[in-house]
C-alpha cells in the first residue's frame, strides 16, 4: 500500500479564497463598528436637541403662558379653557 503524504500547506487557490472570505468579514465588522459609532453620535445629538427644546418650551411657557406652539405657523394655543 502507498502511504499518503501529509500536506503542510493549503493550495494557493484555497489560501486566496480563505483570505478573501476573512477580508469580507473584517470589512463588514468595521462597517458595523462605524455604524454603531454614528448611531452613538446621533443619539447624543438628539439628546442635546431635546434639552434645547425643553429649554425653549420653558421659555415659551414663561413668556407666552403656553408651550403649545404650532411649529408650522408659530401660533400659540392657550392653555385656558374657553
CA dihedral 26→27→31→36, nearest 10 degrees, is 10
| Position with higher pLDDT, 82 vs 67 | 67
28-77 confidence digits (pLDDT tens): 999 999 999 999 999 999 999 999 999 999 999 999 999 999 999 999 99
CA 19/CA 32 separation, integer angstroms: 20
CA 47/CA 51 separation, integer angstroms: 6
pLDDT at position 4, please? 77
pLDDT at position 82, please? 42
6-26 confidence digits (pLDDT tens): 999 999 999 999 999 999 999
pLDDT at position 5, please? 85
CA 68/CA 79 separation, integer angstroms: 8
pLDDT at position 20, please? 98
What are the b/e assignments for 8-29, b being 16+ CB within 10 Å? Answer: eeeeeeeeeeeeeeeeeeeeee
Task: Give the SS3 label for residue 76.
Answer: strand
Amino acid at each position: 500500500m502507498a502511504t499518503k503524504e501529509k500536506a503542510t500547506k493549503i493550495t494557493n487557490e484555497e489560501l486566496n479564497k480563505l483570505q478573501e472570505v476573512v477580508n469580507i468579514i473584517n470589512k463588514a465588522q468595521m462597517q458595523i463598528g462605524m455604524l454603531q459609532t454614528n448611531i452613538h453620535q446621533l443619539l447624543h445629538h438628539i439628546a442635546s436637541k431635546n434639552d434645547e427644546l425643553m429649554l425653549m418650551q420653558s421659555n415659551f411657557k414663561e413668556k407666552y403662558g403656553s408651550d403649545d406652539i404650532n411649529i408650522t405657523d408659530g401660533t400659540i394655543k392657550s392653555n385656558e379653557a374657553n
